[in-house]
């Protein structure tokens, strides 16, 4: 237990989540330390922090996954705590033990809780032991191809291969027949090893057209456990969430009571503390099955914050300080409807392949009920080294219809030039009649979408962007030479840097 107030936090992450954590710290009067790779030296989170330290070269293995270096910086900067954000080392129990062994607070669950709940097979085993339904499949990783064939034959195809050591769709494969199993297993193991350093794979029955619904929980070391309602995350592409919303349109009060009670029972049984998310699959008859637990802050946490008015990161810090939660379950007020779109740098016309390049122009939407979490700015580069997430755009409305309309309007006013992106896809989803009706599942895009359905970019916008880019590039040599050794104006500096 950390009995004194935390004064300085090292944020062991980058981009929008690092910046989001730092903003809460600043509001709370807590100093922040940024870490960065060589390619991130001018990133927003580096500029925002009170201190910043170089980790290493661009590859994550040499920077954001370099646990000894992060710990070295934490000690040198006299940081009281480390916040891992999501991804990278956030669910690595060995990193937690290393941090705590050096007298530094890890703002997240204990190493033992991560091993128990972050490990997918261990979590399934625990859920099953206390009577929470789980998807049929293994509770231990498969040890060989022969065992995989045996298990798949028992639970019947199609089956789903999943990484035991992490989530986010990494290592996940749908297998429809035994002839596909060998190559799918090899591919899953390879991807899981690359993403998590852990190639263990387990198998579960593939549920056709499921809905993906999760419960946000907070728990402290004093036994306080609360939930902040559910989020629907069924709109996915390649097992990666794109749209999240709260509440789910299919959850009534009775069903909500069942899944939130199951989530809280699982958290209590595991001894888990801090923020976490219990994920469930729902079949077409609204039967639910425990899927997994994310033992960290979720990417989509803004959806919940906008609806309940609770700063989840602030509560994480309180828990890290050894204090009780600032509220009880009866204090939570659920208000209206919230939706989030993940804005990715990806090319819709090239099978949504990640798009790299410089962001030449960026115009964000604003107004009542609109929130944007972003870690990049104009003139920043999107590279192949990290996740292509550009921003998270979230809106609030008094009901789902208003939230959908607000999101569609916000997407209309969002402009990104220089990289391909999925803004048009998000807009198409908001306007899709099936989505509006709420009749969605994890196969929504594969069943409803094709490239020809994307709204075209207006020709005048394309022409204006192209002409502006050409003109500015033509002006760049003049901007660079006109100074003749004299200090450049701020406008000239901006334009020169813009196209460098």
CA distance 64 to 37: 7
Phi/psi region, residue 467 (left: phi>0; alpha: psi -120 to 50; beta: rest), is alpha
Q: Is the peptide bond before 247 cis (omega within 30 degrees of 0)?
A: yes
40 touches 377 (CB < 8 A): no
Helix (H, G, I), strand (E, B) or coil at 222: coil
Dist. CA 361–CA 419, nearest whole Å: 10
CB 286 within 8 Å of CB 119 = no
CA 50 to the chain's CA centroid: 25
- Of 173, 296, 307, 374, the catalytic one is 296
| Neighbour count for residue 480 (Cβ, 10 Å) | 14
Would you state the structure tokens that stand for residue 429, as one six-digit string? 């989803």
- Tell me how far apart the 2 most distant CA atoms of the chain are, in Å: 78
Contacts with 269 (C-beta within 8 Å, 6 or more apart), sequence order: 126, 130
DSSP states of 303-359: HHHHHH---HHHHHHHHHTTPPPS--GGG----SEEEEEEEE-EEGGGTTEE--EE-
Beta bridge partners of 382: 357
CA dist 63 → 91, 111, 229, 381 (Å)? 17, 22, 35, 18
Residue 317's Cα: distance from chain center in Å? 19
Please state the φ and ψ torsions of residue 340, each to the nearest 5 degrees.
-125, 140
Please indicate whether residue 211 is annotated as part of the active site.
no
What's the CA angle centered on 80, arms 77 and 85, to 5 degrees? 95
Cβ neighbours of 226 (radius 10 Å): 21
Going from the C-alpha of 356 to that of each of 344, 351, 427, the distances in angstroms are: 11, 14, 22
Q: Which residues are catalytic?
A: 296
């Amino acid at each position: 237990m950390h009995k004194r107030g935390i004064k300085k936090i090292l944020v062991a992450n980058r981009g929008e989540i690092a910046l989001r954590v730092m903003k809460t710290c600043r509001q709370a009067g807590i100093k922040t330390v940024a870490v960065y790779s060589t390619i991130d030296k001018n990133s927003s989170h580096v500029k925002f922090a009170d201190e910043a330290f170089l980790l290493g070269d661009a590859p994550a293995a040499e920077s954001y996954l370099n646990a000894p270096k992060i710990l070295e910086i934490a000690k040198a900067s006299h940081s009281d705590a480390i916040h891992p954000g999501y991804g990278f080392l956030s669910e690595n129990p060995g990193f937690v033990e290393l941090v705590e062994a050096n007298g530094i607070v890890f703002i997240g669950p204990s190493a033992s809780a991560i091993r128990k709940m972050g490990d997918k097979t261990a979590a399934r085993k625990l859920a099953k032991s206390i009577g929470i339904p789980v998807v049929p499949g293994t509770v231990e990783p498969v040890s060989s191809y022969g065992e995989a064939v045996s298990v798949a034959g028992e639970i019947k195809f199609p089956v789903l291969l999943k990484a035991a050591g992490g989530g986010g769709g990494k290592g996940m494969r749908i297998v429809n027949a035994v002839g596909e199993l060998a190559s799918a297993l090899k591919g899953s193991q390879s991807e899981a090893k690359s993403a998590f350093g852990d190639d263990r794979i387990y198998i579960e029955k593939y549920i056709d057209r499921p809905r993906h619904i999760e419960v946000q929980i907070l728990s402290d070391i004093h036994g306080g456990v609360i939930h902040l309602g559910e989020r629907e995350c069924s709109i996915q592409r390649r097992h990666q969430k794109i749209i999240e919303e709260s509440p789910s349109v299919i959850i009534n009060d009775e069903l909500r009571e069942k899944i939130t009670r199951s989530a809280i029972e699982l958290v209590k049984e595991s001894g888990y503390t801090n923020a976490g998310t219990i994920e469930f699959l729902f079949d077409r008859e609204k039967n639910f099955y425990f899927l997994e637990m994310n033992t960290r802050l979720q990417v989509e946490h803004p959806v919940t914050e906008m609806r309940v008015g609770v700063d989840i990161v602030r509560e994480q810090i309180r828990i890290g300080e050894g204090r009780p939660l600032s509220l009880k379950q009866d204090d939570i007020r659920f208000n209206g409807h919230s939706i989030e779109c993940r804005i990715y740098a990806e090319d819709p016309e090239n099978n949504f392949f990640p798009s790299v390049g410089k962001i030449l122009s960026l115009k964000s939407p604003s107004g009542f009920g609109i929130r944007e979490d972003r870690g990049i700015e104009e003139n920043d580069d999107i590279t192949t080294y990290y996740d292509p997430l550009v921003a998270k755009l979230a809106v609030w409305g008094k009901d789902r219809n208003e939230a959908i309309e607000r999101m569609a309007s916000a997407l209309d006013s969002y402009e990104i030039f220089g990289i391909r992106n999925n803004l048009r896809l998000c807009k198409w989803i908001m306007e899709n009649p099936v989505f509006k009706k709420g009749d969605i599942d994890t196969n929504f895009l594969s069943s409803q979408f094709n490239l020809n359905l994307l709204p075209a970019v207006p020709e005048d916008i394309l022409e204006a962007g192209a002409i502006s880019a050409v003109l500015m590039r033509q002006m760049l040599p003049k901007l660079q030479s006109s100074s003749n050794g004299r200090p450049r104006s701020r406008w000239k500096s901006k334009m020169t840097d813009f196209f460098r």
